[in-house]
Amino acid sequence: MERVIPKHIALILDGNGRWAKQRGKIRIEGHTVGYKNIEPVALYAQELGVKYLSIYCFSTENWNRPKTEVDFLMRVPIELAKNVERYIKNNIKIHVSGRRDRMPKNTLQAFDTIVERTKECTGMILNVCFDYGALNDIASAINKIKEENIDVDDKTIFNYLSTKDFPPVDLLIRPGGEKRLSNYLLLECAYAELYFVDTYWPDFHSEDLDKAIDDYNKRNRRYGGIKE
Ligand code: IPE
Ligand code: IPE
Ligand code: MG
């Protein structure tokens, strides 16, 4: 049987710190390698035919880390902006989900540049979740709905989330060994298949993505119904 490629994959880029510790390096070195790993994995996902790839890069809770680490992580989008030509060349369109009111100005500017520069790309959408928390995204959605004073049904709230233009997540992959969602795309993952793997994110490569997709292909997605 032909392998089904999930339309929307959500990745939690976890385990950078432990990857570094294991090698006697400082946490930031893990983030550097982890950050560099985004592009090859994204390119491979696009090659496989994934249409939407969401990546969790900085959560609303990650502000609780030491200032030096937070400051370093705030530079990640600036580095990403330096490689924007490569994303354009590969026809990858970048979208950003998350709060815009707390990050440094140059981080925000880097994101705005990346989004603007890739807006005509028609290939895979890379959704960078940064200062993102599902509960915060839901709260903003509810506030917008309140302003518009409209009735809400099961689907309404999705139209107000930062992911409103994307289909729901089919497959959620969390490297790093933890088996939790850590406030990531909670509603979008309502019917996602969940895949947890011990490999740390900096060690997660194309073959690991293949394994996750192979596992997804063994799942029986019933959506509450019955399948033979
Ligand atoms: C993920 O790696 C990166 C961010 C959360 C920003 P961690 O930094 O959480 O790495 P571990 O979980 O401590 O190993
Ligand atoms: C989740 O990882 C957030 C990102 C990868 C950006 P964390 O390392 O912050 O999650 P917890 O604290 O282990 O739940
Ligand atoms: Mg972690």
How confident is the model over 24-51, as pLDDT tens digits?
999 999 999 999 999 999 999 999 999 9
Structure tokens at 182: 């850590």
Whole-angstrom distance between the N-terminal and C-terminal Cα of the chain? 16
Report the predicted TM-score, pTM, of the whole model to 2 decimal places: 0.98
pLDDT > 90: what percent of the chain?
A: 99
Which residues contact residue 93 at a Cβ distance below 8 angstroms, ignoring those fewer than 6 apart?
Answer: 118, 119, 121, 122, 123, 124, 125, 126
Task: Name the residue of 178, 181, 183, 185 whose CB sits within 8 Å of the most ligand 2 atoms, as the mutation to test its pocket.
Answer: 178
Q: Separation of 17 CA from ligand 3 center, angstroms? A: 7
Q: Is 14 a catalytic residue?
A: yes
Q: Which of 62, 90, 183, 217 is catalytic?
A: 62
Q: What angle do CA 164, 165, 169 make, to 5 degrees?
A: 80
The pLDDT confidence band at residue 58, using thresholds 50, 70 and 90, is very high
Contact 17 CB / ligand 1 (< 6 Å): yes
pLDDT in tens, 209-228: 999 999 999 999 999 999 86
pLDDT in tens, 120-179: 999 999 999 999 999 999 999 999 999 999 999 999 999 999 999 999 999 999 999 999
Q: Is 83 a catalytic residue?
A: no
Helix axis angle, 38-48 to 206-218, nearest 10°: 40
User: What is the rounded distance in angstroms from the CA atom of residue 171 to the CA atom of residue 148?
Assistant: 33
